[in-house]
Amino acid sequence: MGFERPLLGEPYLLTPGPLTTSLATKQAMLRDWGSWDADFRALTAELRRRLLAMIGDVDGAFECVPMQGSGTFCVEAMLGTLVPRQGKVLVLANGAYGLRAAQTLRALGRAHTVIDKGDYLPPRGEEVGAALDADPAITHVLAIHCETSSGILNPVEEIAQATYARGRKLLIDSMSAFGAVPTDLRTLRYEAIVSSANKCIEGVPGFGFVLVRRSELEAAKGNSHSLSLDLHDQWTVMEKTGQWRFTPPTHVVAAFIEALHQHAAEGGVAGRGARYANNRDVLVAGMRAAGFETLLDERWLSPIIVTFFCPADPNFSFPAFYELMKEKGFLIYPGKLTAVESFRVGCIGHLDADVMRAVVAAATRSLAEMKVASAAPAPHVLGERAKLVA
Ligand SMILES: *Cc1c(COP(=O)(O)O)cnc(C)c1O
């Protein structure tokens, strides 16, 4: 596939969504659709069918329920609908999105408990098992697939094993991994998985979707705290009429269908994942050669987004670095770590290794312009990381 430059000199978005989309995806938004019309209903049906195929739902046990709003709306819809009011959730947190899920449960008034691993470390199957053994009231486990605040790829397979070995249910926030990291039901067990249009499928923002076991959905009638975020209701109406309950983001859906076709043409999840992994490898090798250090150990680096420590050199400032990178055509992303200064570079979106090489060159030039002699972080930062990942 061709990787045309963004339009009109707009910068590349090296961010984990919204991200750089292809020209064809943008062009798919150049017509208006009647939300009740058969042509648009066909788009919705195709979207649901293609997403179910992506998780290998061969025996038809799952449903796809799209939901208006950003990813957080869909996480809230999933939790509010699928966790019964008497349920209790074990939240596995190692960054901002895990903590947000806990905050959501608090707002919903659902009982929950949190394993918080800080910024660097993955929740492991063993500790999930121990937490479940210690608290029989826990009915569900919520895992973050790729914790986008650091870029860590959490070990969801071992978490699923620990969860189902104890008869509990797994819900996965795969927002930033779905479409590029395998979520196939034949190798990974879960009751529901949630993602959104503007991450690895490379659509534009406006809706998300929950892929959920039908029996869970059927049992969830009346659970939801919310009218608009009730997945059961959204599903029931969609099954009956083929329509979304309330105004759908029509143009966003049309762009998403185009993005899904490109995803399939690239070789589906495997093809998309391979391109992103190559983007990451080129980026990380180039940045390390320039003296930067990654937050994470090799083994936990995701193909989605990479966190780098800020250089310790006193001439370095992130806001100035950001502006210099923007001048060169690249929007990078501030860090979201609680303890140390960092920045992030996304590997996802309509971009390839040539773009990543240009990012590295731009970063090197920007450091020189700032008169930063070394990109190395403070030694104590590395010392701390070494202690934590040991
Ligand atoms: C992007 C993302 C979300 C949702 O964020 P929104 O800003 O609401 O779209 C949730 N979880 C993870 C892991 C994410 O990467």
Q: Is 17 in the pocket of ligand 1 (CB under 6 A)?
A: yes
Same domain membership, residue 282 and residue 251: no
pLDDT tens by residue, 299-330: 889 999 999 999 999 999 999 999 999 999 99
Distance (angstroms) between ligand 1 centre and the Cα of 380 equals: 31
Tokens representing 170 are 């797994």
Distance (angstroms) between ligand 1 centre and the Cα of 152 equals: 14
Spell out the residues 6+ positions from residue 135 whose beta carbon is closer than 8 angstroms to its own: 88, 90, 113
Q: How many C-beta neighbours within 10 Å does residue 241 have?
A: 11
In a 13 Å sphere around the CA of 3, the CA atoms on its Cβ side amount to 12
Same domain membership, residue 239 and residue 90: yes
Q: Is 16 in the pocket of ligand 1 (CB under 6 A)?
A: yes
Of 3-12, 20-29, 116-125, the poorest mean pLDDT is in 3-12
Instruction: Give the pLDDT of residue 390.
Output: 58
Determine the distance from the C-alpha atom of residue 70 to the mean position of all C-alpha atoms in its chain, rounded to a whole number: 12
- Domain CATH for 104: 3.40.640.10
For residue 18, whether the previous peptide bond is cis, meaning omega lies within 30 degrees of 0, is yes
Distance (angstroms) between ligand 1 centre and the Cα of 309 equals: 22
| Amino acid at site 174 | S
For the chain, what is the largest distance between any 2 Cα atoms, rounded to a whole number of angstroms?
64
Q: Is 308 in the pocket of ligand 1 (CB under 6 A)?
A: no
pLDDT tens by residue, 323-340: 999 999 999 999 887 678
Query: pLDDT band at residue 227, thresholds of 50, 70 and 90?
Result: very high
Q: Is the pLDDT of residue 9 over 90?
A: no
Higher pLDDT, 296 or 275: 275
Same domain membership, residue 288 and residue 253: no
Query: pLDDT band at residue 120, thresholds of 50, 70 and 90?
Result: confident
* Distance in angstroms (rounded) separating the CA atoms of residues 212 and 194: 9
* Distance in angstroms (rounded) separating the CA atoms of residues 101 and 262: 31
Same domain membership, residue 50 and residue 172: yes
Atom of ligand 1 at shortest range from CA of 199: 1
pLDDT tens by residue, 19-49: 999 999 999 999 999 999 999 999 999 999 9
| Amino acid at site 87 | G
Burial class (CB within 10 angstroms; exposed 0-12, middle 13-18, buried 19+) of 62 = buried
Same domain membership, residue 297 and residue 201: no
Q: Is 70 in the pocket of ligand 1 (CB under 6 A)?
A: yes
* Distance in angstroms (rounded) separating the CA atoms of residues 333 and 321: 11
Same domain membership, residue 128 and residue 75: yes
Q: Is 81 in the pocket of ligand 1 (CB under 6 A)?
A: no
Substitution candidate for ligand 1 out of 97, 100, 146, 202 with most atoms within 8 A of CB: 97
**0.75 exceeded by pTM:** yes
| 2 within some domain | no
3-state SS assignment for residue 36: coil
DSSP-assigned beta bridge partners for residue 63: 212
* Distance in angstroms (rounded) separating the CA atoms of residues 18 and 311: 27
Same domain membership, residue 314 and residue 233: no
- Domain CATH for 278: 3.90.1150.10
- Tell the residue nearest (CA) to atom 3 of ligand 1: 71
Instruction: Give the pLDDT of residue 1.
Output: 45
